[in-house]
Amino acid sequence: MAKKKDAGKNYLDFVPVRNPSFDFTVADDGIVTIAVEWQGFYHRIAQRFFRRPRVSDIKLDAYGSFVWQAIDGEKNVYTLSQELEAHFGQMDKALSRLIKFLEIMHDHKIISWKEEGQ
């Protein structure tokens, strides 16, 4: 049976929280690089036999870097979208792009959700 999508949830009320187990650096130009350590049995095999790196660096673009630095565990997605639009001007589909970015970060466990009021 297929997993049901979060159709009834309002992402605007969710508060993203950074996962403290991921290290990140901010370059002089404001670009954020997140270090992701690959763990687990299959990753260790890939590291040993296929010479895969133990740690991968994920460089965010200007939008992602701005959002990453704005995540403080207090602001909800709506507030982040307003700040993003104020900083970068009028963007096409800014809210849907922001939600998709945060969903991807959540799927990779780089952030977690804290619902408003918790």
Structure tokens at 1: 């049976």
The secondary element (H helix, E strand) that includes residue 115 is: strand 111-115
In a domain, 70, yes or no: yes
pLDDT given for residue 4 in this prediction:
54
- 97 located within any domain: yes
What CATH number should be reported for the domain holding residue 58? 3.90.930.60
In a domain, 48, yes or no: yes
- 46 domain residue, yes or no: yes
Q: If 0-12 CB within 10 Å is exposed, 13-18 middle and 19+ buried, where does residue 74 land?
A: exposed
Residues in the chain: 118
Range of the domain at 104: 11-115
Share of the chain above pLDDT 90, in %: 64
Of 39-48, 59-68, 70-79, 102-111, which gets the smallest average pLDDT? 39-48
pTM: 0.82
Q: How many domains does the chain have?
A: 1
Tell me the average pLDDT across 47-64. Answer: 92
* Model confidence band, residue 1 (pLDDT cutoffs 50, 70, 90): very low
pLDDT in tens, 22-46: 999 999 999 999 999 888 899 889 8
Could you tell me if residue 40 is inside a domain? yes
CA distance 26 to 36: 15
